[in-house]
């Protein structure tokens, strides 16, 4: 088994199964929703403010309101949307990519809701009842490449979170300037991890010898939603690291925030010469490559973004591909045997990364790490694949594919 990073391991063991099954269900509900990424030739060149939900967001509301009034676009996440509503700001775009049910966070106005195909089906349904535009994207993970190709769309390489996906979307839509606001990626001095008014306000930490002990209303909301989605809840004690802050000190940072910081810094190394990248966050972790110049918004025209419509035959073809994939994997896992009568292993998540294999990922990794001899390990791996294939097949007939008649 090839080694995988901690973040990949966590995803495979906790979120891969619900995310893949959500993709199967949502694929059949695309209906008239346009694809979020525009064709490469149709790009804007204005300023986009990407709003996080860090503790310092409350200090940036007035500047954010002024920036939008001056012509900038505001991209928020589902976590920061409630705070935007409280401040009377209607975001131009809200990006959601949660496998847990966060549809209650979307009960606020926004001009467009952009959902990851792997979002919770309840989130997908809520976005469909939204009065503005509801669009979607396929994440840039290897388990989605075949699906994206079959649908004829470009994946969004959006990093580990809704925040990073919002930045990636702004880049894809041709932003000439991206400004981060409320992207602390660290605990505040008083221990708060999220801003007042955001979906997880009250999430706070206290540093102990065992690590950062977290609690508060925000954590309980996270844990309840995770339990409802059969996803392991965030632990009450988490590891943190001390990282340089914007004011020259050090701040405590969770691993999930570190992943986002690393992604943002990689974006700066790739796009920093052609896109103006500004970190206007009031406090928090220093993000290398993002300038700290005053965020003075320049009036720039923002051409209408033409979004792709995905043809119905492509959607139907993708659904049939998933159906065939489930049938093939189930057949191989159940019937293919070697000369000794042992079931032969089917290439798994770490090699193939298709939807069925991703559904089985956590179980297969667990089997391989148990150190069984080849015979039992192979049989348990195939049992995991057979169970995953059955779960995918069960999800396919749940919703009929509706006609996709979206116009750009």
Asked whether residue 263 falls in the same domain as residue 334, the answer is no
One pLDDT digit (tens) per residue for the chain, 408 residues: 344 446 677 777 888 899 999 999 999 988 779 999 988 655 566 899 999 999 999 999 999 999 999 999 999 999 999 999 999 999 999 999 999 999 889 989 999 999 999 999 999 999 988 888 999 999 998 889 889 999 999 999 999 999 999 999 999 999 999 999 999 999 999 999 999 999 999 999 999 998 999 999 999 999 999 998 888 888 999 999 999 999 999 999 999 999 999 999 999 999 999 999 999 999 999 999 999 875 444 555 555 566 778 988 999 999 999 998 898 888 877 776 666 656 555 555 445 568 898 899 888 888 878 877 666 777 788 888 889 999 999 998 765 554 443 433
Asked whether residue 251 falls in the same domain as residue 341, the answer is no
346: nearest Cα among 359, 394, 17, 24: 359
389 close to 327: Cβ distance less than 8 angstroms: yes
Tokens 């540093």 belong to residue? 207
In a domain, 53, yes or no: yes
Q: What is the pLDDT at residue 120?
A: 95
- How many independent structural domains does the chain possess? 2
Q: Is 407 exposed, middle or buried (0-12, 13-18, 19+ CB in 10 A)?
A: exposed
116 close to 20: Cβ distance less than 8 angstroms: no
Dist. CA 283–CA 56, nearest whole Å: 6
Asked whether residue 190 falls in the same domain as residue 64, the answer is yes
In a domain, 302, yes or no: no
In a domain, 205, yes or no: yes
In a domain, 134, yes or no: yes
Tell me the CA distances in angstroms from 126 to 122, 161, 188, 204, 352, one per residue in order.
6, 20, 33, 29, 32
Asked whether residue 163 falls in the same domain as residue 256, the answer is yes
Domain end position, chosen among 224, 258, 279: 279
Tokens 């300037």 belong to residue? 177
Asked whether residue 255 falls in the same domain as residue 341, the answer is no
Domain end position, chosen among 258, 279, 300: 279
Dist. CA 184–CA 202, nearest whole Å: 15
In a domain, 287, yes or no: no
Q: What is the pLDDT at residue 342?
A: 63
In a domain, 300, yes or no: no
In a domain, 232, yes or no: yes
Asked whether residue 327 falls in the same domain as residue 360, the answer is yes
Residue 49 β-bridge partners? 74, 179
Which residues make Cβ contacts (< 8 Å) with residue 322, sequence separation at least 6? 24, 27, 147, 355, 392, 396
Dist. CA 117–CA 357, nearest whole Å: 17
Dist. CA 346–CA 111, nearest whole Å: 45
170 close to 328: Cβ distance less than 8 angstroms: no
pTM of the model: 0.89
Asked whether residue 27 falls in the same domain as residue 39, the answer is no
Asked whether residue 148 falls in the same domain as residue 166, the answer is yes
Strand 237-238 with 240-244, pairing: unpaired
Q: Give Cα 102 distance to the centre of its chain.
A: 13
Asked whether residue 72 falls in the same domain as residue 171, the answer is yes
Q: What is the pLDDT at residue 121?
A: 93
Dist. CA 152–CA 358, nearest whole Å: 21
> What is the per-residue DSSP string for 233-275?
PPPSEE-EEEEEBTTSSEEEEEHHHHHHHHHHHHHHHHHTTTS
Which residues make Cβ contacts (< 8 Å) with residue 319, sequence separation at least 6? 27, 28, 396, 401
Q: What is the pLDDT at residue 254?
A: 95
Asked whether residue 226 falls in the same domain as residue 101, the answer is yes
Give the structural domain span for 12.
Answer: 1-34+309-408
Asked whether residue 23 falls in the same domain as residue 115, the answer is no
Dist. CA 296–CA 176, nearest whole Å: 14
Dist. CA 9–CA 3, nearest whole Å: 9
In a domain, 288, yes or no: no
Asked whether residue 273 falls in the same domain as residue 318, the answer is no
Q: What is the pLDDT at residue 266?
A: 97
Say which CATH number the domain at 181 has: 3.90.1480
């Amino acid at each position: 088994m090839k080694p995988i990073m901690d973040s990949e391991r966590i995803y495979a063991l906790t979120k891969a199964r619900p995310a893949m099954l959500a993709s199967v269900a949502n694929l059949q509900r695309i209906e008239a929703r346009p694809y979020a990424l525009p064709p490469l030739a149709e790009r804007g060149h204005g300023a986009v403010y990407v709003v996080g939900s860090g503790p310092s967001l409350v200090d940036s509301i007035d500047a954010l309101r002024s920036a939008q009034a001056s012509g900038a676009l505001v991209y928020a996440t589902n976590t920061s949307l409630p705070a935007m509503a409280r401040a009377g700001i209607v975001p131009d775009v809200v990006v959601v990519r949660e496998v847990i049910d966060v549809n209650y966070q979307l009960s606020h106005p926004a001009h467009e809701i952009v959902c990851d195909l792997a979002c919770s089906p309840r989130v997908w349904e809520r976005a469909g009842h939204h009065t503005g535009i509801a669009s979607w994207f396929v994440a840039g993970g290897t388990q989605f490449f075949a699906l994206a190709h079959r649908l004829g769309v470009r994946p969004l390489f959006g990093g580990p979170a809704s925040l990073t996906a919002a930045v990636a979307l702004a880049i894809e839509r041709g932003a000439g300037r991206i400004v981060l606001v409320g992207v602390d990626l660290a605990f505040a001095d008083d221990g708060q991890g999220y801003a007042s008014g955001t979906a997880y306000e009250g999430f706070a930490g206290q540093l102990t010898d065992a690590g950062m002990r977290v609690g508060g209303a925000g954590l309980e909301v996270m844990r309840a939603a995770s339990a409802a989605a059969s996803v392991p809840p965030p632990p009450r004690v988490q590891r943190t690291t001390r990282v340089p802050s914007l004011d020259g000190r050090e701040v405590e940072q969770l691993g999930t925030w570190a992943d986002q910081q690393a992604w943002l810094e990689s974006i700066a190394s790739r796009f920093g010469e052609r896109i103006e990248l500004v970190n206007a966050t009031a406090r928090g972790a220093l993000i290398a490559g993002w300038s700290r110049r005053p965020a003075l918004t320049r009036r720039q025209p923002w051409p209408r973004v033409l979004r792709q419509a995905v043809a119905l035959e492509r959607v139907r073809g993708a659904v049939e591909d998933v159906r065939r994939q489930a049938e093939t994997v189930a057949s191989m896992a159940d019937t293919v045997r070697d000369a000794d009568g042992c079931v032969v292993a089917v290439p798994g998540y770490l090699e193939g990364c298709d939807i069925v294999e991703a559904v089985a990922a956590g179980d297969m990794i667990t089997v391989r790490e148990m150190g069984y001899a080849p015979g039992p390990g192979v049989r348990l791996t195939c049992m995991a694949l057979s169970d995953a294939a059955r779960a995918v097949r069960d999800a396919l007939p749940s919703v009929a594919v509706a006609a996709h008649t979206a116009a750009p």
